[in-house]
Structures are given as C-alpha cells and as structure tokens.
C-alpha cells in the first residue's frame, strides 16, 4: 500500500502521531475542526523535527507533506493508516469511526489512540469491525517508541500490518493479547498515580518530593530494566525466587492505599495544583516540553550506545535507514543532525564529538571498501595513527550537517583520508580532518597489508579521488 496516513484529531497525541509519520517519510492528511489546530500542530512539528533526528546517526527519510483538510472523508480517502485521536467519549468515537469507514479503503488500518476503551467497545456497530483496533501511544509520540496494539476482534491481517507499519516508524508495537480496561501501561500508571495522590493529600510528600523520588531513584532503573528485571537483580545471585521470598510477605502489610481512591475534592485539586505551580510554574508548557525532549534524547542515546532497552530498538531502526555510499567524489559519508548531548558549556559542539563524527565517516568508508563488520570479526581492521582537526565554524545542536571524504592515499597498509564537515543549510565548511590510518592484524595487533579485495577497492578509490581533485 501507499505511505499515506490520515490523522483525525490533532491534539497533543494526534499532533505527535502527525510528527512521527511525517518525519519518517509518510504523507499525512489532518482533520481537526479546531481553528487553532494548524498553529498548535505546527509547534509540535517544530519540537519533533528538532529532536527526533538527534536519535539517529543515519540520515532521516525525506519529510512527508502535512496537509490540513476540511473533512474526515477527504483525510482518509486512499489512506493506508488512519489514526483516530478524538476526545475520550465513546459516542464521539463511534460517530467518527463510522465516518472513517464510509470513506477509507477496506485494507487500511484504523487505529485508535484511546487509553480507556477496549477495541470491542470501539468495534460495536461498525461496518467492518475487523479493521478497527487500539493503537495506544505515549506522549511524546514522536520520541517514545511504545504503542500498545490491542486487536480485539480485528483481523490477523490488519494486526500484522499495524505492527509492520509501527516498526517501520521506529516504534515498538506491544501486542496486548487480551482486552482489558486501560490496557497494560496505564493500569500500572494509574496505581502509582493513586498512591501519589494519597501521599500529597495526607501531607506525607509534596508533588516535587514525589517526582524526585522517581527521577533520582527507581525511575532510572525502570528506564532500562523495567520492573521485573530490576527486582530480579535485587534478589542477588538467587534471583527472582529469593526476591519474592524476601519481599512477598510485605504485600500483606497495609503499606499502600492502592485499593482506595482519595475523594477528589476541590481542596485536593487546589493543593496539588498549587504545589505543581510552585514546583515548575516558572516554565511555560513549551519550555517544559523542550526540556523533557532534550532529556529524553540524552537518555535514549545513552541506552542506544549500550544497545539496551529502547536504545536497542532505536539502534536497529537506525540501521534500516542507512543506505550504501554512492559513487560521487568526494563521498558523502555522514548525514545527520547534531544531538543535544554533543554540546558543551559554550553552547556548541564539543571538540571530542568532532573526533567521533570523523571516526563515523571513516567507518562508513571502511564498509564501502569491504572492511566491514565481518572483515573485522575475521581479524582485520584499520587503526587510526594520526589525526589533525581544524575547527573553522561553530556547530550547534539541531543543525543538519554532512561529512565528505576523499581517499588521498591508499597504498599497501597505508590509508589517508581527508574529511570536511559541512552545514547542510549553506554548505559552509565547519571543520576538516586529515586522518592517517594503518591496516592491522587484530591477532598480532601489528600492521600488515589488507586482504586483496579491500586493497584493490582502496587503491581504486585513491586513484579516482586523486583524478578528481
């Protein structure tokens, strides 16, 4: 099918869906009767366009067009994916889903962002219930990969297509096998939220103290190990069985009030709202979103470097975005956006990251000539012996950059590369790197000639690049 997505409802979640689809190369049609929808979604798109590319070392797909239309029918006509993100009222959802099905292709996936309704409730009275399912994301949709996919009565073919599309967007489709109110993640969050309300109401902790307990403690563990794996480690060498034996009995103790709900009075609302204003009211929502997104990028990139949790998912998706180098001279070895965790106290890219960037360019060149992962695993590689970097212009987070690479010497075990880092907006040269490498045996850790197939490719590039200079 085509890569056209229709987003019905452009609020916080709908706007995130628009950004995720568009930045991954899909054409997006949007219907939202709010007269301010285009402005609000534009702000979400700006946030997403700044940070999502920071997660990737590979170049992003060409951004898809976002078009605002005047009706549901116009939005969904010919669409491969339709995402319903209208208010959480079942009567509204039924009406909108009927409009969608009256105009969309029968093979299209219709996903609902609902956090509360089960798919069977959405499918009631539908012309084609097998087409409708829950695809519940998490805010911000353009950065957080989790999507709870609850097919219910949806067909296996539609569910499989949904998971395929979500994976291609860099997301993680969690297949919820059985219908349940609030799915999986929100049920868990609801329990934590309820306990937090009691702690504030009873004067045990403020909103800020509760947030600090999470972000300075177990929240960091959950981000990379989840709940059960965290407790497995807490059980020591004996693992989960020991943890359950040690802490299981305390579940009988009246520590928490998870089964009770505090009375939702005006006084409780005022107490929490006032504490929240005192905690972070100095920042606007947009400023808080920017801070949140910067922190998420840094955390996710840290996990990516370790190939753990959500970072492993992003690494795998990043690899799918990489294509082989072309035949141009010089070779464009890197195209990317500068991430926030590459900047220093001066507000520009740290000098150590230039070394990483030029190293990435060299690795792309190595792969191009056949000195790839398999070549290295077989005991051969190139080691850098010397580099000389010149910093010509400042580089800032969020800037699109690219690196060009020339082979200026390729003879025997010697390889010399000339890199230029440029700003994509105006092709200004930001930095250069003169890099000298030697081919080595990973068994002896000493220099040696490359294998013939790699040597031939290197010599061929050196000749070609020399002729073009």
Domains in the chain: boundaries = 4-183, 186-282, 324-468
Per-residue pLDDT, 243: 81
| pLDDT single digits (tens) 41-56 | 999 999 999 999 999 9
Q: Could you tell me which CATH number the domain at 324-468 has?
A: 3.10.129.10
Contacts of 400 (CB under 8 A, 6+ apart): 53, 335, 336, 337, 423, 424, 425
Euclidean distance between the first and the last CA atom of the chain, given in angstroms as a whole number: 45
Query: Which phi and psi angles does 431 have, rounded to 5°?
Result: -165, 155
Per-residue pLDDT, 256: 66
Per-residue pLDDT, 253: 66
Q: Is the pTM of this model over 0.75?
A: yes
Q: Looking at the chain, how many residues does it have?
A: 469
Q: Classify 387 as helix, strand or coil.
A: strand
The proportion of the chain whose per-residue pLDDT surpasses 70, expressed as a percent, equals 97
**Fold of the domain spanning 186-282:** 1.10.1040
Per-residue pLDDT, 260: 79
The sheet with strand 81-84 has its strands ordered as 66-68, 27-31, 4-8, 81-84, 109-112, 132-137, 146-150, 172-175
Per-residue pLDDT, 235: 86
Per-residue pLDDT, 338: 97
Per-residue pLDDT, 315: 96
Rounded CA separation 41/49 (Å) = 12
| pLDDT single digits (tens) 235-248 | 899 888 888 888 77
Per-residue pLDDT, 168: 98
Residues of the chain with pLDDT under 70: 1, 250-259
Per-residue pLDDT, 206: 97
**Class of domain 4-183 (CATH, top level):** alpha beta
């Amino acid at each position: 099918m085509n890569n056209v997505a229709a987003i019905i409802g452009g609020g916080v979640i709908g706007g995130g869906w628009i950004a995720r689809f568009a930045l991954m190369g899909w054409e997006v049609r949007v219907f939202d009767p709010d007269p301010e929808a285009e402005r609000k979604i534009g702000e979400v798109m700006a946030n997403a366009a700044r940070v999502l590319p920071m997660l990737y070392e590979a170049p992003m797909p060409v951004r898809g067009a976002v078009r605002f239309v005047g009706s549901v029918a116009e939005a969904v006509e010919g669409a491969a994916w339709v995402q319903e993100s209208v208010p959480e009222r079942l009567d509204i959802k039924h009406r909108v889903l009927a409009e969608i099905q009256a105009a969309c292709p029968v093979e299209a996936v219709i996903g609902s962002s609902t956090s509360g309704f089960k798919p069977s409730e959405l499918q009631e009275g539908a012309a084609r219930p097998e087409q409708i399912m829950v695809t519940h994301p998490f805010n911000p949709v353009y950065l957080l990969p989790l999507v709870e996919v609850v097919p219910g009565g949806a067909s296996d073919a539609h569910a499989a297509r949904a998971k395929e599309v979500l994976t291609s967007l860099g997301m993680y489709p969690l297949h919820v096998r059985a219908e349940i109110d609030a799915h999986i993640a929100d049920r868990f969050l609801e329990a934590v939220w309820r306990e937090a309300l009691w702690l504030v109401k009873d004067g045990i902790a403020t909103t800020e103290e509760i947030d600090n307990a999470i972000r300075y403690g177990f929240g960091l563990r959950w981000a990379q190990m989840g709940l059960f794996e965290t407790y497995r480690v807490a059980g020591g060498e004996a693992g989960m069985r020991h943890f359950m034996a040690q802490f299981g009995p305390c579940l009988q103790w009246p520590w928490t009030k998870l089964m009770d709900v505090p009375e939702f009075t005006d006084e409780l609302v005022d107490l929490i709202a006032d504490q929240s204003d005192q905690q972070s009211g100095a920042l606007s929502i947009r400023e808080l979103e920017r801070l949140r997104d910067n922190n998420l990028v840094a955390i996710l990139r840290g996990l990516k470097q370790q190939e753990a949790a959500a970072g492993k998912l992003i690494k795998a998706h990043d690899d799918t975005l990489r294509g082989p180098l072309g035949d141009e001279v010089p070779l464009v070895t890197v195209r990317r956006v500068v991430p926030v965790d590459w900047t220093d106290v001066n507000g520009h890219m740290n000098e150590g990251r230039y070394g990483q960037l030029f190293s990435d360019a060299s690795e792309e060149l190595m792969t191009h000539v056949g000195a790839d992962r398999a070549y290295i695993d077989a005991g051969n590689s190139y080691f850098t012996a010397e580099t000389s970097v010149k910093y010509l212009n400042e580089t800032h987070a969020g800037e699109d950059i690219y690196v060009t690479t020339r082979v200026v010497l390729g003879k025997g075990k010697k390889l010399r590369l000339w890199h230029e880092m440029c700003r994509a907006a105006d092709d200004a040269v930001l930095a250069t790197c003169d890099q000298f490498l030697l081919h080595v045996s990973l068994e002896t850790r000493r220099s040696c000639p490359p294998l013939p197939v790699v040597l031939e490719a290197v010599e061929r590039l050196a000749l070609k690049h020399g002729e073009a200079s």
